[in-house]
Amino acid sequence: GVGRRQMPPLTIFSQNCRGLKTDGRIDELAHVLQERRAFLACVQETWRGRCGKDDGVYDNWTFLGIGPEQQCGRGSQGVGILLSPRATTALRRGGTEVHY
């Protein structure tokens, strides 16, 4: 309608990573997402070596991840969400709790 404020669209990616074993790889992905002006990215097959919950901040992006308690084979499991600084602010302002 007239006078209605238009919100810019949010860009959300989904990426099969085939491994984010190192913090440097997450930094690199965050950098690419920043260049693409992403709001957030859902990532699969993170292959993170840590068991269970895996959180951290990489290049000002918040990574919320989880993997199986016990890896089988090459460790082709694990999922996560990378939140842009803007998405992280929205998460905190909303008082949202993260449940794994």
Helices (H), 1-100: 23-35, 85-93
Task: Write the pLDDT tens digit of every residue in 3-39.
Answer: 667 888 899 999 998 888 888 899 999 999 999 999 9
Average pLDDT over residues 41-69: 82
Number of C-beta neighbours around residue 45 at 10 A: 16
Does 69 or 78 have the greater pLDDT score?
78
Does 49 or 44 have the greater pLDDT score?
44
Does 48 or 1 have the greater pLDDT score?
48
Residue 93, SS3? helix
Cα–Cα distance for residue pair 36/6, rounded to 1 Å: 21
